[in-house]
Amino acid sequence: MTKRSDFVVVANRLPVDEEATVEGRRWRASPGGLVTALCPVARAHRGAWVGWGGAAGPAPDPFDHDGIQLYPVGLSSADVECFYEGQSNSTIWPLYHDAVEPPAFDRTWGDAYRTVNARFADAAAGVAARGATVWIHDYQLQLVPAMLRARRPDLRIGFFLHIPFPPIELFMQMPLRAEILRGLLGADLVGFQQKLAAQNFVRLARHLLGLRYRGTTIDVDGRGVRAGAFPISIDPKEMEQLAATEEIKARARQIRTELGNPKTLILGVDRLDYTKGIELRLGAFRELLEDGTLTVPETTLVQVATPSRERVEHYDMLRTRVEREVGRINGDFSRVGIPAVHYLHQSYSRPELAALYCAADVMMVTPLRDGMNLVAKEYIAARIDQGGALVLSEFAGAANELRHAFLCNPHDPDAVKEALLRAIGVGRADGRRRMQIMQRYLRAHDVDRWARSFLEILQAPEAHE
Ligand code: GDG
């Protein structure tokens, strides 16, 4: 029997991953920004979470996890192919990231997107108590706000988009464009990572549907829909505490020793995704080795590329290109036993990530476009020694906040090289000063504040004007 909840999170994925084992089904806590951000909020509200477990098949029964009621939604293999890999990750993801890879369009994917979104809306409608707050997340579920409002007009509905929201000209390419926009407008509050995204959204509502707006409140049939920027963050204490342990300090030293004690260790940590700018980073590194500005073994690049969306064609092609470039650099510049690039297509534990962050002299975060980028924030939080330097793309949402990083335009290879060299050459005092300023900022702008600020506005009486 379903116990209805006053606070419901709806996200594509549950905070746990389903694993098929010989003994049957097993659940494993799934790491990642969204889960770390929302679990404490859901727990504090004794809330419910509606999402997919990550394996194709019928939905398992609801269960309790760490004080949160989980309501799995089932996706068939065809849903995974058309809704998840197709419409979500081959159409919307590239389109919303400035079409840095051409989006693919397929009309059967649109049908699947609609059907699966309706399934999430049905599940949320069945779980939410009367007048409950429902917080829907991300680009896979943009139709859910309106679908849920149609089923349950008593609810207070918030939506947060974790990725960028594109300018009008790009959004207009989308075959489902009006439906998606109306879907989002079913919410009382639509949150974005950046002001620019919220402005794109409000302007689009006028352009596509002729809706009027004042400030960032859109008039939808007499109902006020607010749009706003709520830059997501991390819990800096997690990385600070890890970095303070003797184990992590020792492991960071060990990593450097194992790499042959380079003078400069450069690090990249990304999901293997074409938006993250891994290729351009490798290209900048190669050019600096070619002209002799950097040399091996004094300098080493470690690139962690976490496996991601491996069945989507663009990702498979990216992997081939990245691995070819790594091979080319290593072929030209490695020495016996001393590779120029250490390429790791693997997932790591949080402590190992923390040790890598602590070991790195320069962290390169160079996405072509990124909603926020939590890796940049985690690196800053981990540097309790105030060492290290961050090279950060202006096209990551984080660049609006981390102004003391070495900012660069990732589309300009010379700008990336210049920022990297400035970061490598930063003086100790200047480096410390930059780190301190950014750490102070992060402590005051943590993930709790992000969730609280969104929910306060969502639950304020004016939201139902
Ligand atoms: C989307 C938006 C936005 C990575 N490798 C491992 C691992 N990670 C963790 C990182 C970080 C998270 O995954 C990645 O977050 P990002 O923000 O960098 O990127 P996306 O996955 O693209 O996230 C993004 C975010 O949503 C939140 O709104 O910032 O713009 O694209 O926390 O540490 N974690 C572990 N092992 C790994 O190998 N344990």
Residue 361 is a catalytic residue: no
The reply to whether 17 and 159 lie within a common domain is yes
Q: pLDDT tens across 249-288, in order? A: 999 999 999 999 999 999 999 999 999 999 999 999 999 9
Q: pLDDT tens across 436-447, in order? A: 999 999 999 999
The reply to whether 299 and 219 lie within a common domain is no
Spatial strand order of the sheet with 299-306 comes to 341-344, 299-306, 264-271, 362-365, 389-393, 406-408
The residue from 45, 97, 137, 162 that is catalytic is 162
Mean local confidence (pLDDT), 217-231: 97
Residue 430 is a catalytic residue: no
CA of 375 to the centre of ligand 1 (A): 6
- Percentage of residues of the chain with pLDDT beyond 90: 88
Count of domains in the chain? 2
The reply to whether 26 and 158 lie within a common domain is yes
The reply to whether 39 and 117 lie within a common domain is yes
Mean local confidence (pLDDT), 26-44: 79
Residue among 366, 373, 445 whose CB has most ligand 1 atoms within 8 A, to mutate: 373
pLDDT value of position 459: 92
The reply to whether 269 and 200 lie within a common domain is no
Tell whether the model's pLDDT for residue 36 goes beyond 90: no
Closest Cα to atom 8, ligand 1: which residue?
32
Residue among 271, 273, 369, 450 whose CB has most ligand 1 atoms within 8 A, to mutate: 271
The reply to whether 23 and 46 lie within a common domain is yes
Q: pLDDT tens across 358-372, in order? A: 999 999 999 999 999
pLDDT band for position 465 (50/70/90)? very low
**Ligand 1 atom at shortest distance from the alpha carbon of 398:** 29
The reply to whether 163 and 243 lie within a common domain is no
CA distance 125 to 133: 11
pLDDT band for position 186 (50/70/90)? very high
Label each residue of the chain as H, E or C.
CCCCEEEEEEEEECCEEEEEECCEEEEEECCCHHHHHHHHHHHHCCCEEEEECCCCECCCCCEEECCEEEEEECECHHHHHHHHHHHHHHHHHHHHCCCCCCCCCCHHHHHHHHHHHHHHHHHHHHHEEEEEEEEEECHHHCCHHHHHHHHCCCCEEEEECCCCCCCHHHHCCCCCHHHHHHHHCCCCEEEECCHHHHHHHHHHHHHHHCCCEECCEEEECCEEEEEEECCCCCCHHHHHHHHHCHHHHHHHHHHHHHCCCCCEEEEEEEECCHHHCHHHHHHHHHHHHHCCCCCCCCEEEEEEEECCCCCCHHHHHHHHHHHHHHHHHHHHHCECCECCEEEECCCCCHHHHHHHHHHCCEEEECCCCECCCHHHHHHHHHCCCCCCEEEEECCEHHHHCCCCCEEECCCCHHHHHHHHHHHHCCCHHHHHHHHHHHHHHHHHCCHHHHHHHHHHHHHCHHHHC
The reply to whether 310 and 211 lie within a common domain is no
Q: Give residue ranges with CB within 6 A of ligand 1.
A: 31-34, 162-163, 232, 269, 271, 306, 347-350, 353, 370-375, 378
CA of 33 to the centre of ligand 1 (A): 5
pLDDT band for position 26 (50/70/90)? confident
Residue among 194, 375, 377, 446 whose CB has most ligand 1 atoms within 8 A, to mutate: 375
The reply to whether 325 and 218 lie within a common domain is no
Residue 199 or residue 27, greater confidence:
199
pLDDT band for position 39 (50/70/90)? confident
pLDDT band for position 463 (50/70/90)? very low
Buried (b) or exposed (e) across 93-108, using 16+ Cβ within 10 A? bbbbbbebbebbbeee
Mean local confidence (pLDDT), 376-389: 98
Greatest mean pLDDT range, 1-5, 289-293, 312-316: 289-293
The reply to whether 291 and 339 lie within a common domain is yes
CA of 272 to the centre of ligand 1 (A): 11
The reply to whether 253 and 228 lie within a common domain is no
Residue 67, phi then psi, degrees to nearest 5: 80, 5
The reply to whether 120 and 61 lie within a common domain is yes
Angle CA(182)–CA(187)–CA(189) in degrees, nearest 5?
Answer: 125
Residue 289, phi then psi, degrees to nearest 5: -75, -40
Tell whether the model's pLDDT for residue 226 goes beyond 80: yes
This prediction's pTM: 0.96
pLDDT value of position 28: 78
pLDDT value of position 462: 63
Tell whether the model's pLDDT for residue 31 goes beyond 70: no
Q: pLDDT tens across 52-102, in order? A: 999 899 999 999 998 899 999 999 999 999 999 999 999 999 999 999 999
Best CA proximity match to 128, nearest among 47, 29, 228, 201: 47
CA of 99 to the centre of ligand 1 (A): 20
Task: For residue 386, give the CATH number of its domain.
Answer: 3.40.50.2000
Q: Which residue segment(s) compose the domain that 120 sits in?
A: 5-232+448-464
Q: What is the mean pLDDT of the chain?
A: 94
pLDDT value of position 464: 45
Closest Cα to atom 10, ligand 1: which residue?
375
Mean local confidence (pLDDT), 15-24: 78
CA of 373 to the centre of ligand 1 (A): 7
